[in-house]
Amino acid sequence: MKIAVISCIHGNYEALNEVLLDIDRHQVEQIYCLGDLVGYGPYPNAVVEMIRSLDIPTCQGCWDEDVVEGLNACECSYPSLLAEKRGRLAHEWTNQEIHPETRSFLAQLPLSLRDGNLCFVHGSPHSQHEYMLPDMHAFTAMERVLATGADTLFCGHTHIPYVRQLESGQLQVRVSSGQSSQRPNQQTSNFSAPLKRIVNAGSVGEPRHGRTNATYVLYDAETEQVTLREVEYDYQKTCAAIVEKGLPSIFAWRLARGLEFAERADDPTHVCER
């Protein structure tokens, strides 16, 4: 079975349309979406309506959560203060723009999805706000996959697609328990982890890999082959709509470059502790 995984559409209807056409051309049997349907972009309602009408299983992203729950995350929810300032403006705009049925749809999204040995989350299994970057410590990355019980973990949130293979993981531990008056009970054991994979689906509507194309992934369940896809779309149309609808023009600027410099600042691994 061939599946497509899309993420981080961020109200970019033009990009979503073009990605869905590309998916159509690859005879995909199932599409999964990793959330962040809204935020930054000009068409949050249209994007949600499209996902809902196509009955695409979707998990909740951090933006979807914030629009539903209110922006109650602490500032470390954003990787930098600059990103937070811009994010707040986008949040306020989106919050006013979305229809009640859009909000209701976002509210009922699950935090994760499972399909056999595949697991789908927005950020990480522990938090929608955690960035699983490709250079995350390999054991930390392995822990995130093992926490799901799956063999392959699909995530988004960073807006940059990658495939990471983790193998030959082993740890040697010695555990002593007991009290001073007793002989401690000491045990040595070895832990080994099987082959695991993390697949980041990139971003349909707000790519940050250095080009303007939308990104998503194809996965062949038979061969376990992952294909990172880049899809051209009329990003200028979305940029114009961002400006026209009164969203901060910085979002159009970065969409036209496929970059977000603010996200490179501070500590992207830090997670809000609500």
Partner 1 sequence: MVIWAILSGIEGNLAAYEAVLADIKRQRQPVEELYILGDIIAATPASANVIQRIRSPRDHEPEPQVCRGWWEEQLLILHGSGRTGEPTELIEYYGAEQVKALWDAIPRSTVNWIQSLDFGFFELDCLLIHGSTVSVSDELTPNTPPIQMLDRLMRMDANYLFCGRSGLTFQYEIQQGSITSSVTTLDHTAPPQATLVKPRQVIGVGNVGRIPGQATYTLYNPYANQVEFRTVRYGPRKGFQSI
Q: Cα dist. 199→11, 34, 152, 158, 167 in Å?
A: 23, 12, 7, 12, 15
Three-state secondary structure readout of 242-271: HHHCCCCCHHHHHHCCCCCCHHHCCCCCCC
Nearest Cα residue to 43 out of 213, 268, 251, 219: 251
Tell me whether residue 25 or residue 191 sits nearer to partner 1 (CB atom).
Answer: 191
114, 245, 264, 274: residue in contact with partner 1 (rule CB under 8 A): 274
* Residue owning tokens 């410099």: 261
Residue 228 binds partner 1, judged by CB under 8 A:
yes
**What's the closest the beta carbon of residue 240 comes to partner 1, in angstroms?**
26
Nearest Cα residue to 113 out of 122, 104, 105: 122
18's tokens: 């073009």
Residues 217 and 199 sit within 8 Å (Cβ to Cβ): yes
**Exposed (0-12), middle (13-18) or buried (19+): which is 128, by Cβ within 10 Å?**
buried
Stretch that binds partner 1, among 8-16, 50-58, 139-147, 234-242 (CB under 8 A): 139-147
Residue 108 binds partner 1, judged by CB under 8 A:
no
Stretch that binds partner 1, among 6-14, 28-36, 134-142, 231-239 (CB under 8 A): 134-142
Residue 268 binds partner 1, judged by CB under 8 A:
no
236's tokens: 């200028």
Residue 171 binds partner 1, judged by CB under 8 A:
yes
Residue 163 binds partner 1, judged by CB under 8 A:
yes
Residue 215 binds partner 1, judged by CB under 8 A:
yes
56, 82, 193, 243: residue in contact with partner 1 (rule CB under 8 A): 193
CA 141/CA 165 separation, integer angstroms: 10
**What's the closest the beta carbon of residue 171 comes to partner 1, in angstroms?**
4
Stretch that binds partner 1, among 8-16, 17-25, 62-70, 169-177 (CB under 8 A): 169-177
**What's the closest the beta carbon of residue 134 comes to partner 1, in angstroms?**
5
**What's the closest the beta carbon of residue 76 comes to partner 1, in angstroms?**
13
Q: Which residues bind partner 1 (CB under 8 A)?
A: 126, 134-135, 137-143, 146, 160-181, 184, 188-189, 191, 193, 209, 215, 228, 230, 273-274
